[in-house]
Amino acid sequence: MIAVAVAVAAVSYQYFLGSYLLGIIVALGIVGGAIVVSANTIIVIFASSQDSGFVLYDILVGMGSEKQSAGLLDTLKMERVRTILTHTYPYPHEHSRHAIIAVAVGKTIKPSYSNFSRWYIVWILVAAVYHLPSFQSMGVDMRMNLSLFLTIYISSILFLLVFHIIFLGLWYIGLVSRVAGKRPEILTILQNCAVISVACCVFYSHCGNRAILRERSLNQRNSNWFSFWKKEERNTWLAKFLRMNELKDQVCSSWFAPVGSASDYPLLSKWVIYGELACNGSCPGSSDGISPIYSLWATFIGLYIANYVVERSTGWALSHPLSVKEYEKLKKKQMKPSFLDMVPWYSGTSADLFKTVFDLLVSVTVFVGRFDMRMMQAAMSRVNDRDQQGDLLYDHFTEKDDFWFDFMADTGDGGNSSYAIAKLLAQPSIRLREDDTVLTLPRGDLLLIGGDLAYPNPSAFTYERRLFVPFEYALQPPSWYTAEQIAVNKPEVPGGVALKQYNGPQCFVIPGNHALHGDIDVYQFKFFSELVKQKVQEDDSVIIITHEPNWILDWYWNSVSGKNVSHLICDYLRGRCKLRMAGDLHHYMRHSHVKSDGPVHVHHLLINGCGGAFLHPTHVFSKFKKVHGVSYECKAAYPSFEDSSRIALGNILKFRKKNWQFDFIGGIIYFVLVFSMFPQCKLNHILQDGSFSGQLRSFFGTVWNGFIYILEHSYVSLAGALLLLIAAYSFVPSKLSRKKRAIVGVLHVSAHLSAALILMLLLELGVETCIQHKLLANSGYHTLYQWYRSVESEHFPDPTGLRARIEQWTFGLYPACIKYLMAAFDVPEVMAVTRNNICKRGMESLSRGGAVIYYATVFLYFWVFSTPVVSLVFGSYLYICINWLHIHFDEAFSSLRIANYKAFTRFHIKSDGDLEVFTLAVDKVPKEWKLDADWEGEPKQPQQMSHLRRFPSKWRAATAYQDPIHTVKIVDRFVIGRTDKNDNVTSANEPVQ
């Protein structure tokens, strides 16, 4: 079915018109477009499927001289073009290749939510489009290919299932090799059946189902591609293109010709589907030629069976080496790490997150104030003989003249971010350029990790994949390392080797982060207070590391926590705490005290939770000024307050992109809110209003009436709205007063309810418009199946009754499966027909099953429409709250799943007692990694420790200049002088504001 359009225009319009028509061609999905530009003319030629064979469109716009135009038309020989391009054997059916091509280029079926969402939307759109005759008038009719695809798909699945059952039976009784006992993969069968169906439909789109081509001349049958170029046409530059259809016809009739007739294969005469006749004029008699579609299907099925039998019967697949292509593919897969992505905190499909929520609810509602794990640990570890108590003090670094150590916190989220920091920590040294000087910072002898090691919950899987794997890639464990003893025998050093003799990097982890009371308990307080009395001298300087930065969180929440820690700092250390550090907040901030006459309990407050988890904002904490009666000023913030505020904008633009799984919850919530509003039967006042402003008034008036209806009559929707209001109120942080929380909650729910009502009315208007224009509610249920059965016997003859026999053998399962699978594409029709019945006879006229079917069909489309809107509304809510009200700092940034802005802090205790502090950061974390050639090429000794290697990390960024080693920078640097009367403190940089 080829249609040719020729447009002639003046030279001044040729490029504009060419672009315009080409845009139309692309927009309509028309196959085979071409643009030919001459000196002052443009010719646009495109192919399109049409209902009545070949139609020729001649669009002649004479904008140039008659002589010039006539010359071109003489060259084209329009009558000859019409003869050449008009198909000699037109098909009475419509078929389009667009849907099949879309299926062919789609991604492989994978059990992921993104693929499910993609295929779900495609299904819904296809089900809607094939009902629209306006598309059919342009040659886009999906019915034949859609019904043919489903029929072949179901037939293939049934046939292969029967084959596998028979094959397994033969294996069970010992007639085939024992290696055949492995069960076939169901997903593989489904994928193979889909490929077979697509191939058959593509063939049908191009070649049809012709059996015998009658009344064809000998010259036409024997012509081929080389005969196109007759001597007198060799100089005609359009001849080759204009005769493409003849080539296509010859390819279909010669290369893919039918395998023969049933008389040639008597044994197959009752087991085949026949092809249709295609001839000039009437076709007397009936066809006995085997359908080329059937022969193609049988060939593919035969290849699958032969391949499967050979592999399973001989064990060839188990013993044969990989092919070069498969080997290269496997090697390429091993050339990059399999890091996990950032945790999707708003996933409605994650079992881990539901488990985390459940554990939190249990711990908060059941055990708060009643049970503390630390109490049980203390009770179990108490012994009468004090000499038998384990020594918790490690002083094996005391002999060093100077000492380097690192601090990081909140790792174990995304693999890319965690590995980026781990790689920097593992390097023997880091070279940095600051102004005109080059700094070399050696690797720390000690690493302190401030907690939060595995998100979203501490399972064996999350610890392995989110914590251990990135760190093992950065610095491989020693030869004596055993994964089973990682938490049993600590420190993990060779037998007979003391810590003082071990010169490798060491790591200490602060246990018990997020303690139930957010404070040290009485036993811990006793231990630390005695330690201060016995070990800490009057001129010593102390660094205290806790998990949570109580000083800034207490200010933010207007609460008091960590009383025991504060008591220890203020009343026992009495000014000797020079630095207090914590993680928990996934950003970097440093506050230094403002000199005053009063006592200073803590000189510097440092937060660094940039170890690998999602980013937290800094701008919501910009007004923190005082703790313990001492004033502080912000000396550094990373990211800066301005960048932090700008990043929050991503909630509006990127919330759904980052949180696709939130659709699962959001779509259901919106449907519950308007469940009782379907259907809206009286919408003519909106459609018939003459002015646009009047239509808008009527539209929003109907929305308001719907809201009143929910309050007065709709119990289901009202209950859903009340539950959502309670959840919204509870979701607002307690930082605000109850009145403000109520206002925020009501506004939040009102936005969602308004959006749901507007979407409901738009969907109902769309259905009503289609019904009024006779696009829906015309055929009833099973329209696609009924249409296919009406044309099936015409285009796929079955004179021997093969289909009837299969139906009998399968007890009706064969046509029933096809019928109800095709019904999945009649969703719009079912919705419209049922809606009409409800509007005419009332909801009471439907059975319970009919009501379920109606609401299910409505939900299928409403879910697709509502999911982008619910994400937009919720993302906008988070943005407003974080930037205007400074609340939801955790929720508004965990939604963005930002892997960038990662940092750790490196400390240097100098021989003179000064403490140098460097905070090193990476603005952008690489997303792609590849094997480091330096790591691979460095000679490896059998017992060589990985920390002694020059290149200890296995992976580097795919783009060299993006590697953390090259992009790391100093975002904060300061020095804490040795304790003296003047308490000198110098800083190398000003506050990052």
Residue 342 has pLDDT above 90, yes or no: yes
Residues 6+ apart with CB under 8 A from 608: 407, 408, 409, 450, 581, 583, 588, 903, 904, 905, 919
Look at the pTM and tell me if it is higher than 0.85.
Answer: no
Residue 48 is predicted with a pLDDT of 35
Residue 359 is predicted with a pLDDT of 59
Residue 649 is predicted with a pLDDT of 94
Residue 54 is predicted with a pLDDT of 31
Of 475, 491, 487, give the one whose Cα is nearest residue 396: 491
* Cis status of the peptide bond prior to 491, with omega within 30 of 0: yes
What's the rounded Cα separation, in Å, for the pair 907 and 403? Answer: 8
Tokens representing 194?
Answer: 């889909």
Tokens representing 50?
Answer: 């049409």
Residue 590 is predicted with a pLDDT of 97
Q: What mean pLDDT value characterizes the chain?
A: 77
- Identify the helix (H) or strand (E) that includes residue 871: helix 848-880
Q: Which of 387-396, 811-820, 880-889 has the lowest mean pLDDT?
A: 387-396
Residue 921: phi, psi to the nearest 5? -140, 160
Residue 122 is predicted with a pLDDT of 79
Each residue's pLDDT tens digit, 495-536: 666 677 778 888 877 655 557 567 888 888 998 999 999 989
Residue 699 and residue 687 in contact, taking contact as beta carbons nearer than 8 Å: no
Residue 95 has pLDDT above 60, yes or no: no
Residues 6+ apart with CB under 8 A from 475: 422, 425, 426, 505, 946, 947, 952, 953
Q: Which of 166-180, 895-909, 948-962 has the lowest mean pLDDT?
A: 166-180
For 27, counting Cβ atoms within 10 Å of its Cβ (0-12 exposed, 13-18 middle, 19+ buried), the class is: exposed
pLDDT band at 261 (very low <50, low <70, confident <90, very high): confident
Q: Which of 282-286, 399-403, 889-893 has the lowest mean pLDDT?
A: 282-286
What's the rounded Cα separation, in Å, for the pair 801 and 806? Answer: 9
Q: Which of 258-267, 296-305, 445-454, 836-845 has the lowest mean pLDDT?
A: 258-267
CA dihedral sign, ordered 611, 614, 619, 622: negative
Residue 632 is predicted with a pLDDT of 96
Residue 443 and residue 920 in contact, taking contact as beta carbons nearer than 8 Å: no
pLDDT band at 319 (very low <50, low <70, confident <90, very high): low
pLDDT band at 321 (very low <50, low <70, confident <90, very high): low
Written in H, E and C, the secondary structure of 200-225 is HHHHHHHHCCEEEEECCCHHHHHCCH
The single-letter DSSP state of residue 290 is B
What's the rounded Cα separation, in Å, for the pair 95 and 130? Answer: 12
Domain ranges of the chain: 127-210+290-331, 373-379+390-639+901-976, 661-893
pLDDT band at 172 (very low <50, low <70, confident <90, very high): confident
Each residue's pLDDT tens digit, 709-760: 999 988 899 999 999 999 999 999 999 999 999 999 999 999 999 999 999 9
pLDDT band at 348 (very low <50, low <70, confident <90, very high): low
Question: pLDDT exceeding 90 applies to what percent of the chain?
Answer: 36
Residue range 431-441: mean pLDDT, rounded: 88
pLDDT band at 236 (very low <50, low <70, confident <90, very high): low
* Cis status of the peptide bond prior to 133, with omega within 30 of 0: no
CATH code of the domain occupying 373-379+390-639+901-976: 3.60.21
Q: Is 907 helix (H, G, I), strand (E, B) or coil?
A: strand
pLDDT band at 69 (very low <50, low <70, confident <90, very high): very low
What's the rounded Cα separation, in Å, for the pair 979 and 543? Answer: 13
